[in-house]
Amino acid sequence: MSRREGWGSFEVGWRPSSGTTRCQDTIRISLGTAQLQIMVELIFHLQVTTGITFGVLVMRLLPPFLHQHFHHHHRQPNHTLRKMAQLPPLPEVTPLTPSITRILAGNPSRFTLQGTNTYLVGSGPNNRILIDTGEGKPSWIAALKSFLSNSSATISKCIITHWHGDHVGGIPDLLSAFPNVKLYKHRPDYHNPSNFPFLDIADGQEFEVGGGGRLKAVWTPGHTEDHMVLQYFPPSSSLPSSSQSELFTGDNVLGHGTAVFEDLASYLTSLSKMKILATGKAYPGHGPVIEQARDKIDEYIRHRKQREDQVVQQLRQYPEITAVGSEKGWTLMGLVRVIYKDVPEALHLPAAGGVVQILKKLEREGRVRVVAEGDGGMGEEDSPSGWRGKGEVFLDRKRDA
C-alpha cells in the first residue's frame, strides 16, 4: 500500500476483498464531506484484506490535520480512552482454574482492552497447550517462560485462533524459546506472510490436554474467515457436570464491549453455533472471564439484531425523512448520522463499518437495494459481495414485511 499525505488528499493502492471481480489500482480521495463516504468504504475493504483493526486504519490513513483532530477527540475524558482507563485491571499472569492460566500479552489499548489474552491449558509437566501468542511484546515471553519454569512444565502445541497480528506476533519468540512446539491454525496459508510453519486445524479436530481433558476446535468465521473457537472439556471432576464444557472464544466474543467482524451473516451464524457449545464459562481473546457464556452470546446476538432493526427502521421512513438522507434515498453516512446520533461525530467514520456490513447482509437477503450514483443501478459484479457503500439505499418493500 502506498500513501501520499497532504492537507486534503491521499492516494492508496488497494484491492477489494475476495469475491469481487473488479480491481481498482489507485484511488485519490479529497477529504470533502461528499468523499468521506468513499473513504469509509476504502478503509472497510482494507480492514478485510489486511486484518488491521478498523480504528487503527482510520488513525493510520487520515492526513495529519484530520489525524490530529481524531486523536485529540479520543483524548477527551468522556470518550474512549476514559472508558479504557475504567476497565478493571487484570494481572499479568492469572491461574483461572487448576488447568487454565491466562497470560496477558502486554499490549493494552483501546482496541485490545487490557491486552490480548493468551492461555495455557493443561496440568502436569507435559502436553500443555498454548492458545494464541499476543503481538510479540518481550514481557509476554518472559512471563510465559517464568511460569512454565516455576511449574516444571513444557508446551507441546500452540493453537492460533485467527491470523491477526495481536494473536500471532509472539510466534517468533515462542519458537525461539520452545523450538519443538507444534503450531496449529485453520487454513495455514491464509494471511501468513511470515510463513509460520502452521499445521492445519480441521473443523471438529480434537487435542488431548496434559492432565486430562481435551480441546475441540470449531470453525466460527465472522471476525475473520479463519477464526476458530476451542471448546474445552476439562477432567470430569473439575466441573459440576461431566457434560458441561467451557469455551475459548477468540475475538468473536470479548469480555468487554462488542467485537468487530468481516462478514455479519457469517458472524451471526457463528454466534448461534457458539451459543450451543457454551454451557459454562467463556475465556475471550480480550477482557475478563465471562461467567455465563450463553448469556453473553445472547447479548451479542440481540445487539446485532437491534442495529439491523435500526437500519431497517430508518429505511422504512423514506421518503418522510430527507434532511439527513438524500432526496432519493439514504446514503451510508446519512444512516450513520441518524443511528449513531448520540455518539460523538468523530466516531461516526469507524461506526460506518458496521452499517456497511448490515447493508451487505440485507442486500444478500433481498431486503434492500443499492442504486449507485450516476447509472441508476448496479452491475451484477457489484452485488452483493462487492457492494461499496456508494449511492442511495432503498428498502425493498416487496420482500421486507
- Which residues are catalytic, by number? 166
Helices (H) and strands (E) in the chain, counts: 11, 16
CB of 376 closer than 8 Å to CB of 355: no
Cell of 183: 503450531
- CA-CA distance, 264 to 169, in Å (whole number)? 26
CA distance 135 to 105: 7
Name the CA dihedral angle for 81, 82, 87, 90, rounded to a multiple of 10 degrees.
Answer: 60
Dist. CA 198–CA 188, nearest whole Å: 5
CA of 363: how far to CAs of 46, 333, 357, 359, in Å? 21, 17, 10, 6
d(CA 244, CA 238): 10
Taking a C-beta distance cutoff of 8 angstroms, is the pair 144, 313 a contact?
no
DSSP 8-state class, residue 88: P
25: left (phi over 0), alpha (psi -120 to 50) or beta: alpha
Structure-block grid coordinates of residue 11: 492516494
Residue 186: exposed, middle, or buried by beta-carbon count in 10 A (0-12, 13-18, 19+)? buried
CB atoms within 10 A of CB 96: 15
Q: Are 93 and 147 in contact (CB under 8 A)?
A: yes
**Residues with Cβ < 8 Å from 288, sequence gap 6 or more?**
88, 90, 114, 255, 256
